[in-house]
Amino acid sequence: MSLANTTTQYGAVAKTFHWLTALGIAAVIPLGIIANDMPYDTAAQLADKAWLFSLHKTVGVSLFFVALARIAWALSQPKPAAMHPDRKAETLLAETVHWLLYGSLVLVPLSGWVHHAATEGFAPIWWPFGQTLPFVPKNVALAEAFAGVHIVFERVLVVSLLLHIAGAVKHAVLDKDSTLARMWFGTSRATPDAAPHPHRRAALAAGAIWAMALGLGGVLGVYQHSSVAAAVALEDVESDWQVQDGTVAITVRQMGSDVRGTFADWTAQISFDETVTEGKAGEVTAEIAIGSISLGSVTAQALGADYFNADAFPTATFAADLRRADTGYVADGTLTLKGVEQAVTLPFSLALADGVATMQGSTQLNRRAFGVGDSMTDESQLGFEVIVDIALTAQRQS
């Protein structure tokens, strides 16, 4: 059997690509469905879920490169003629399905890969080339959008695959021709005088189907970032120093990678006298809307009962005295989170100019001290230490 195609039969390379691709699809789709449906309430469950997702992603990326190689080979080879060129509608449908399959084998893993690269908090791809993609930033909205695109293209792939299998069965059972047999490792041939394939019309039809599928996904809202919890609305506070802008962020180590999250809604009531050189120079009371956090792909999990439990404890409060330290300042106070009070010291730097204060501070907390993620006992899966970074600019009020 020849390695290359002819106008009447497929070669060994094309057949190998075909069945290797079929094996990959048969593995990757069930892996994704099972992994997505698995619970992750305990350390053991999360480990199993992450392992399956890593396997799903690794097989998917491998399938992506197999698909590129298969397409490159197909473009360099003649394609055996259709078995029944007189059946124009059937031939056009078969060719359209082939275009959908080839395109989906690239689009499905690629969209999943972009979603993976844009996400903070993930099960890694098992390979040594890193987890990022060029020009793909870590961005929740982008990740959510490509998660939706991945779902849409996966549905197109599944429907195309079912049509492809149905066509093969129809040729084998009803037509009793060698369409299916000639893709197996043998010498079955098509009719040598068959008409050419309707490539252009089939490609346009496939493109139209992808466009309609993406449009339907938009109508169904699959590209939108879903809100997992309603953050409590914080009241405005009067303060001697009014916050102009700033960031309250946390970083936690998950599955060997740092995951950074930010709280979108928080307030700070600040009194401060920069002329004080010893003792208490001011105080701060900060309130944070827990439900406003964005923590990559694990946002929903973070707000659940075993973690922040945002429904029962919608806010956290930090009340502290501000004191000058040997270098910079410290905020010595109490953090109340999830109903638990713990003493916290936050060192910070401070720059003052024309009535505007710019501060940056960082501290480290142990999530277990607040009962956050008690079921996650394996630090390699979810780190115990959480870094808190705070930066803000505040203006002195007259």
Sheet holding 382-396, edge to edge: 266-272, 280-289, 315-324, 329-337, 340-353, 356-366, 382-396, 241-254, 257-263, 293-294
- Summarised one tens digit per residue, pLDDT across range 35-81 is 999 988 777 888 899 999 999 999 999 999 999 999 999 999 988 87
What 125-131 contacts at long range (C-beta under 8 Å, 24+ apart), as own/partner pairs, is 125/54, 125/57, 125/58, 125/61, 126/54, 126/55, 126/58, 127/58, 127/61, 131/257
pLDDT at 189 over 90: no
Q: Are 32 and 26 in contact (CB under 8 A)?
A: no
pLDDT at 187 over 80: no
Helix (H, G, I), strand (E, B) or coil at 392: strand
Residue in this structure with the two tokens 């499905």, named with its chain if needed: 108
Letter for the amino acid at 46?
L
Beta strands in 87-178, from DSSP E residues, in sequence order: none
What is the token pair recorded at 317?
Answer: 């409060």
Q: State residue 236's pLDDT score.
A: 87
pLDDT at 161 over 80: yes
Among 15-24, 66-75, 159-168, 301-310, where is mean pLDDT lowest?
301-310
Q: State residue 291's pLDDT score.
A: 93
Q: Are 360 and 348 in contact (CB under 8 A)?
A: yes
Angle in degrees, 0-180, between the axes of helices 140-170 and 88-118, rounded to the nearest 10: 150
Q: State residue 192's pLDDT score.
A: 45
Give CA–CA dist 318/5, Å, rounded. Answer: 71
pLDDT at 226 over 60: no
pLDDT at 3 over 70: yes
What is the token pair recorded at 357?
Answer: 């204060």
Among 73-82, 108-117, 193-202, 338-347, where is mean pLDDT lowest?
193-202
Work out the number of other CB atoms within 10 angstroms of the CB of residue 202: 20
pLDDT at 19 over 60: yes
pLDDT at 120 over 50: yes
Go through the domains of the chain in sequence order and give each one's CATH number: 12-220 (1.20.950), 241-396 (2.40.128.110)
Query: Which of 117, 125, 106 lies closest to 147, judged by CA?
Result: 117
Helix (H, G, I), strand (E, B) or coil at 45: helix
Residue in this structure with the two tokens 């100019």, named with its chain if needed: 353
DSSP 186-241: S-----TTPPPP-HHHHHHHHHHHHHHHHHHHHHHTTTSPPP-SPPPPPPP---SE
Helix (H, G, I), strand (E, B) or coil at 342: strand
- Mean pLDDT confidence for 367-393: 94
> Which of 253-262, 287-296, 320-329, 358-367 is the most confident on average?
358-367
